[in-house]
Amino acid sequence: MLKKLSKKTVLTVIAILVVLVAVAVGETVHAFSGGGSKGTITVGAKGFAENEILASLYQIALQENGYDAKFVDNLDGDVLHSAINSGKIDFYPEYTNTGVVMVLKHDPIFDPEKAYQYVKEQYKKKYNIVWLNQSAINDTYGFVITKKVADQYGISTISQLCENSPKLRLAQMYDWNADPAIGEALDKTYGKFKFADVKTYNAGLVYPVLKEEKADALVAQTTDPQLEDTSTYVLLKDDKKVWPPYYLTPIIRQSTLDKYPGVDGIINSVTKEVSGSDILELNRQVMIDKKEFQDVARKFYDSHIKK
Protein backbone atom coordinates (compact mmCIF):
# COMPACT_ATOMS: atom_id res chain seq x y z
CA MET A 1 0.00 0.00 0.00
CA LEU A 2 1.35 3.40 -0.96
CA LYS A 3 2.12 5.84 1.81
CA LYS A 4 -0.22 8.84 1.74
CA LEU A 5 1.67 12.00 0.75
CA SER A 6 1.40 15.16 2.79
CA LYS A 7 -0.23 18.22 1.22
CA LYS A 8 3.13 19.99 1.27
CA THR A 9 4.81 17.13 -0.59
CA VAL A 10 2.06 17.02 -3.21
CA LEU A 11 2.34 20.75 -3.82
CA THR A 12 6.11 20.46 -4.13
CA VAL A 13 5.78 17.68 -6.71
CA ILE A 14 3.24 19.71 -8.68
CA ALA A 15 5.55 22.74 -8.69
CA ILE A 16 8.45 20.63 -9.96
CA LEU A 17 6.28 19.15 -12.72
CA VAL A 18 5.22 22.63 -13.85
CA VAL A 19 8.85 23.69 -14.16
CA LEU A 20 9.82 20.48 -15.99
CA VAL A 21 7.03 20.94 -18.51
CA ALA A 22 8.07 24.56 -19.03
CA VAL A 23 11.71 23.65 -19.55
CA ALA A 24 10.71 20.95 -22.03
CA VAL A 25 9.22 23.56 -24.36
CA GLY A 26 11.80 26.25 -23.73
CA GLU A 27 9.77 28.39 -21.37
CA THR A 28 10.76 30.54 -18.43
CA VAL A 29 8.46 30.25 -15.43
CA HIS A 30 7.78 32.98 -12.89
CA ALA A 31 5.45 31.53 -10.28
CA PHE A 32 4.53 34.40 -7.99
CA SER A 33 1.97 33.42 -5.40
CA GLY A 34 -0.95 35.71 -4.88
CA GLY A 35 -2.24 33.68 -1.96
CA GLY A 36 -5.11 32.86 -4.27
CA SER A 37 -8.03 30.88 -2.90
CA LYS A 38 -10.24 31.15 -5.98
CA GLY A 39 -8.14 28.86 -8.19
CA THR A 40 -5.05 28.78 -10.39
CA ILE A 41 -4.77 30.61 -13.71
CA THR A 42 -1.66 30.56 -15.90
CA VAL A 43 -0.82 33.49 -18.14
CA GLY A 44 1.72 33.20 -20.96
CA ALA A 45 3.78 35.85 -22.69
CA LYS A 46 6.01 36.33 -25.68
CA GLY A 47 9.61 37.06 -24.79
CA PHE A 48 9.74 40.81 -25.34
CA ALA A 49 9.01 43.86 -23.24
CA GLU A 50 5.49 45.05 -24.04
CA ASN A 51 4.01 41.56 -24.10
CA GLU A 52 5.66 40.63 -20.82
CA ILE A 53 4.59 43.91 -19.21
CA LEU A 54 0.94 43.51 -20.17
CA ALA A 55 0.88 39.84 -19.18
CA SER A 56 2.46 40.75 -15.84
CA LEU A 57 -0.22 43.42 -15.28
CA TYR A 58 -2.88 40.76 -15.85
CA GLN A 59 -1.13 38.43 -13.43
CA ILE A 60 -1.01 41.11 -10.74
CA ALA A 61 -4.69 41.96 -11.21
CA LEU A 62 -5.69 38.32 -10.87
CA GLN A 63 -3.58 37.94 -7.74
CA GLU A 64 -5.13 41.07 -6.28
CA ASN A 65 -8.53 39.48 -6.89
CA GLY A 66 -7.72 36.27 -5.06
CA TYR A 67 -6.42 33.98 -7.82
CA ASP A 68 -3.17 32.04 -7.75
CA ALA A 69 -1.83 33.46 -11.01
CA LYS A 70 1.21 31.82 -12.59
CA PHE A 71 3.35 33.44 -15.28
CA VAL A 72 5.13 31.63 -18.13
CA ASP A 73 7.17 33.70 -20.58
CA ASN A 74 9.84 33.55 -23.29
CA LEU A 75 7.47 31.71 -25.61
CA ASP A 76 7.28 32.15 -29.35
CA GLY A 77 4.01 32.36 -31.22
CA ASP A 78 3.79 28.69 -32.25
CA VAL A 79 4.48 27.46 -28.74
CA LEU A 80 1.94 29.87 -27.24
CA HIS A 81 -0.77 28.80 -29.65
CA SER A 82 -0.07 25.15 -28.87
CA ALA A 83 0.08 25.85 -25.13
CA ILE A 84 -3.27 27.63 -24.96
CA ASN A 85 -4.92 24.98 -27.13
CA SER A 86 -3.63 22.17 -24.94
CA GLY A 87 -4.49 23.97 -21.69
CA LYS A 88 -0.89 24.39 -20.48
CA ILE A 89 -1.70 28.09 -20.22
CA ASP A 90 -5.07 29.80 -19.84
CA PHE A 91 -4.47 33.05 -21.69
CA TYR A 92 -1.89 35.41 -23.15
CA PRO A 93 -1.67 38.74 -25.04
CA GLU A 94 -1.79 38.24 -28.82
CA TYR A 95 -1.76 40.61 -31.81
CA THR A 96 -4.75 40.84 -34.14
CA ASN A 97 -3.02 40.36 -37.50
CA THR A 98 -0.66 37.78 -36.04
CA GLY A 99 -3.80 35.77 -35.41
CA VAL A 100 -5.15 36.60 -38.88
CA VAL A 101 -2.00 35.73 -40.83
CA MET A 102 0.15 33.35 -38.77
CA VAL A 103 -2.55 31.26 -37.14
CA LEU A 104 -5.59 31.46 -39.41
CA LYS A 105 -3.50 31.68 -42.62
CA HIS A 106 -5.60 34.53 -43.98
CA ASP A 107 -4.38 37.57 -45.90
CA PRO A 108 -3.76 40.64 -43.69
CA ILE A 109 -6.86 42.61 -42.76
CA PHE A 110 -6.20 46.34 -42.78
CA ASP A 111 -9.32 47.60 -41.03
CA PRO A 112 -8.69 47.31 -37.26
CA GLU A 113 -12.27 46.47 -36.32
CA LYS A 114 -12.67 43.93 -39.13
CA ALA A 115 -9.39 42.25 -38.14
CA TYR A 116 -10.56 42.05 -34.53
CA GLN A 117 -13.99 40.67 -35.44
CA TYR A 118 -12.45 38.10 -37.78
CA VAL A 119 -10.06 36.63 -35.21
CA LYS A 120 -12.74 36.81 -32.53
CA GLU A 121 -15.18 34.76 -34.61
CA GLN A 122 -12.68 32.31 -36.07
CA TYR A 123 -10.80 31.53 -32.84
CA LYS A 124 -14.08 30.84 -31.06
CA LYS A 125 -15.24 28.58 -33.86
CA LYS A 126 -11.97 26.70 -34.45
CA TYR A 127 -10.34 26.65 -31.01
CA ASN A 128 -13.00 27.70 -28.46
CA ILE A 129 -10.69 30.58 -27.53
CA VAL A 130 -12.09 34.03 -26.77
CA TRP A 131 -10.57 37.34 -27.83
CA LEU A 132 -11.29 39.77 -25.00
CA ASN A 133 -11.39 43.55 -25.38
CA GLN A 134 -8.83 44.99 -27.78
CA SER A 135 -6.21 47.29 -26.29
CA ALA A 136 -5.07 50.68 -27.61
CA ILE A 137 -1.59 49.26 -28.31
CA ASN A 138 -0.85 48.84 -32.02
CA ASP A 139 2.59 47.34 -32.67
CA THR A 140 3.07 47.47 -36.42
CA TYR A 141 5.72 48.80 -38.77
CA GLY A 142 6.24 52.52 -39.12
CA PHE A 143 8.53 55.01 -40.83
CA VAL A 144 10.40 57.30 -38.46
CA ILE A 145 12.30 60.45 -39.45
CA THR A 146 13.96 63.19 -37.46
CA LYS A 147 11.93 66.21 -36.40
CA LYS A 148 14.47 68.40 -38.15
CA VAL A 149 13.94 66.65 -41.50
CA ALA A 150 10.16 66.60 -41.04
CA ASP A 151 10.14 70.38 -40.55
CA GLN A 152 12.67 71.06 -43.28
CA TYR A 153 10.80 69.18 -46.03
CA GLY A 154 7.26 69.32 -44.68
CA ILE A 155 7.01 65.54 -44.30
CA SER A 156 4.26 64.00 -42.18
CA THR A 157 3.21 61.00 -44.33
CA ILE A 158 4.94 58.06 -45.99
CA SER A 159 3.80 59.38 -49.40
CA GLN A 160 5.69 62.62 -48.74
CA LEU A 161 8.72 60.64 -47.59
CA CYS A 162 8.71 58.68 -50.85
CA GLU A 163 8.61 61.91 -52.86
CA ASN A 164 11.55 63.33 -50.90
CA SER A 165 13.55 60.09 -50.59
CA PRO A 166 16.26 61.10 -53.13
CA LYS A 167 17.31 63.84 -50.68
CA LEU A 168 17.40 61.56 -47.63
CA ARG A 169 19.48 58.79 -46.05
CA LEU A 170 17.99 55.54 -44.73
CA ALA A 171 19.27 53.64 -41.69
CA GLN A 172 18.14 50.01 -41.60
CA MET A 173 18.61 47.07 -39.23
CA TYR A 174 18.77 44.61 -42.16
CA ASP A 175 18.11 44.63 -45.90
CA TRP A 176 14.51 45.82 -45.89
CA ASN A 177 14.05 44.75 -49.52
CA ALA A 178 14.58 41.15 -48.42
CA ASP A 179 11.47 41.36 -46.24
CA PRO A 180 8.32 41.31 -48.41
CA ALA A 181 6.34 42.87 -45.55
CA ILE A 182 8.51 45.98 -45.88
CA GLY A 183 10.31 46.50 -49.19
CA GLU A 184 7.89 44.75 -51.55
CA ALA A 185 4.83 46.09 -49.74
CA LEU A 186 6.14 49.66 -49.80
CA ASP A 187 7.02 49.51 -53.50
CA LYS A 188 3.58 48.20 -54.43
CA THR A 189 1.74 50.76 -52.34
CA TYR A 190 3.84 53.92 -52.48
CA GLY A 191 6.15 53.42 -55.44
CA LYS A 192 9.91 53.00 -55.44
CA PHE A 193 11.89 54.71 -52.68
CA LYS A 194 15.15 56.13 -53.99
CA PHE A 195 17.12 57.10 -50.90
CA ALA A 196 20.36 58.97 -51.46
CA ASP A 197 22.15 56.55 -49.14
CA VAL A 198 21.23 53.30 -47.38
CA LYS A 199 23.31 51.85 -44.55
CA THR A 200 22.74 48.88 -42.25
CA TYR A 201 23.32 49.19 -38.50
CA ASN A 202 23.00 47.08 -35.40
CA ALA A 203 19.46 47.33 -34.01
CA GLY A 204 20.67 49.28 -30.99
CA LEU A 205 22.29 51.95 -33.14
CA VAL A 206 19.57 53.00 -35.59
CA TYR A 207 17.92 55.56 -33.33
CA PRO A 208 21.24 57.10 -32.15
CA VAL A 209 22.30 57.33 -35.80
CA LEU A 210 19.19 59.41 -36.53
CA LYS A 211 19.71 61.53 -33.44
CA GLU A 212 23.32 62.23 -34.45
CA GLU A 213 22.07 63.22 -37.94
CA LYS A 214 24.06 60.47 -39.68
CA ALA A 215 20.80 59.30 -41.25
CA ASP A 216 17.35 60.76 -41.77
CA ALA A 217 14.85 57.86 -41.77
CA LEU A 218 14.31 54.30 -40.59
CA VAL A 219 11.66 51.59 -40.58
CA ALA A 220 10.73 50.88 -36.98
CA GLN A 221 8.02 49.44 -34.76
CA THR A 222 5.27 51.79 -33.66
CA THR A 223 5.78 50.88 -29.99
CA ASP A 224 9.51 51.63 -29.95
CA PRO A 225 10.16 53.55 -26.72
CA GLN A 226 12.34 56.10 -28.49
CA LEU A 227 9.18 57.51 -30.07
CA GLU A 228 8.40 59.12 -26.73
CA ASP A 229 10.96 61.74 -27.72
CA THR A 230 8.78 63.74 -30.10
CA SER A 231 11.26 66.61 -30.13
CA THR A 232 13.71 64.33 -31.97
CA TYR A 233 11.66 61.67 -33.80
CA VAL A 234 8.49 61.78 -35.90
CA LEU A 235 6.41 58.69 -36.68
CA LEU A 236 4.97 59.23 -40.15
CA LYS A 237 1.34 58.60 -41.02
CA ASP A 238 0.83 55.46 -43.11
CA ASP A 239 -1.57 57.35 -45.39
CA LYS A 240 -2.06 54.49 -47.88
CA LYS A 241 -2.23 51.83 -45.18
CA VAL A 242 0.59 49.60 -46.38
CA TRP A 243 0.94 47.89 -43.02
CA PRO A 244 -1.92 46.13 -41.22
CA PRO A 245 -2.73 46.82 -37.56
CA TYR A 246 -1.39 44.55 -34.83
CA TYR A 247 -3.47 45.48 -31.80
CA LEU A 248 -2.43 43.76 -28.60
CA THR A 249 -5.38 41.80 -27.20
CA PRO A 250 -5.68 39.17 -24.46
CA ILE A 251 -7.04 35.81 -25.63
CA ILE A 252 -8.33 33.18 -23.19
CA ARG A 253 -9.70 29.65 -23.19
CA GLN A 254 -13.49 29.48 -23.00
CA SER A 255 -13.12 26.67 -20.47
CA THR A 256 -11.22 29.06 -18.18
CA LEU A 257 -14.01 31.62 -18.40
CA ASP A 258 -16.55 28.89 -17.65
CA LYS A 259 -14.56 27.74 -14.64
CA TYR A 260 -13.87 31.23 -13.30
CA PRO A 261 -16.75 33.62 -14.09
CA GLY A 262 -15.71 37.25 -13.87
CA VAL A 263 -12.09 36.72 -14.90
CA ASP A 264 -12.80 38.39 -18.25
CA GLY A 265 -13.93 41.53 -16.42
CA ILE A 266 -10.70 41.61 -14.39
CA ILE A 267 -8.55 41.28 -17.51
CA ASN A 268 -10.58 43.83 -19.50
CA SER A 269 -10.32 46.32 -16.63
CA VAL A 270 -6.52 46.21 -16.99
CA THR A 271 -6.53 46.43 -20.79
CA LYS A 272 -8.53 49.66 -20.86
CA GLU A 273 -6.06 51.43 -18.55
CA VAL A 274 -2.98 50.98 -20.78
CA SER A 275 -2.78 53.50 -23.61
CA GLY A 276 -0.48 53.63 -26.62
CA SER A 277 1.58 56.35 -24.97
CA ASP A 278 1.71 54.34 -21.73
CA ILE A 279 3.32 51.39 -23.48
CA LEU A 280 6.05 53.63 -24.93
CA GLU A 281 6.93 54.74 -21.41
CA LEU A 282 6.76 51.22 -19.99
CA ASN A 283 8.85 49.84 -22.85
CA ARG A 284 11.43 52.56 -22.24
CA GLN A 285 11.81 51.55 -18.62
CA VAL A 286 12.46 47.94 -19.58
CA MET A 287 14.31 48.27 -22.89
CA ILE A 288 16.38 51.41 -22.26
CA ASP A 289 16.52 51.83 -18.48
CA LYS A 290 16.96 48.04 -18.06
CA LYS A 291 14.42 47.66 -15.29
CA GLU A 292 12.76 44.30 -14.65
CA PHE A 293 9.41 44.08 -16.40
CA GLN A 294 7.76 42.70 -13.23
CA ASP A 295 8.85 45.77 -11.26
CA VAL A 296 7.69 48.13 -14.02
CA ALA A 297 4.31 46.39 -14.19
CA ARG A 298 3.87 46.43 -10.42
CA LYS A 299 4.55 50.16 -10.19
CA PHE A 300 2.17 50.96 -13.05
CA TYR A 301 -0.54 48.76 -11.58
CA ASP A 302 -0.29 50.42 -8.19
CA SER A 303 -0.35 53.95 -9.62
CA HIS A 304 -2.80 53.59 -12.52
CA ILE A 305 -5.02 50.54 -12.02
CA LYS A 306 -5.31 49.53 -8.38
CA LYS A 307 -8.52 50.78 -6.82
Work out how many domains the chain is built from and give that number.
2
Q: Tens of pLDDT along 259-299?
A: 999 999 999 999 999 999 999 999 999 999 999 999 999 99
Question: Edge to edge, what strands does the sheet with 40-46 contain?
Answer: 28-30, 68-75, 40-46, 91-95, 248-253, 129-131
Instruction: Find the domain containing 190 and state its range.
Output: 141-235
> pLDDT higher for 256 or 34?
256
Closest CA relative to residue 95, chosen from 56, 108, 189: 108
Q: Can you give the pLDDT at residue 36?
A: 56
87 lies in the same domain as 150: no
123 lies in the same domain as 259: yes
Q: Can you give the pLDDT at residue 40?
A: 97
Q: What percent of the chain has pLDDT over 70?
A: 88
- This prediction's pTM: 0.86
99 lies in the same domain as 173: no
Mean pLDDT of the chain: 89
Rounded mean pLDDT of 88-95? 97
Q: Tens of pLDDT along 136-174?
A: 999 999 999 999 999 999 999 999 999 999 999 999 987
Residue 192 confidence class, pLDDT cut points 50, 70, 90: very high
146 lies in the same domain as 134: no
User: Residue 217 — left, alpha, or beta (φ > 0 → left; ψ -120 to 50 → alpha)?
Assistant: beta
Last residue of a domain, one of 235, 269, 288: 235
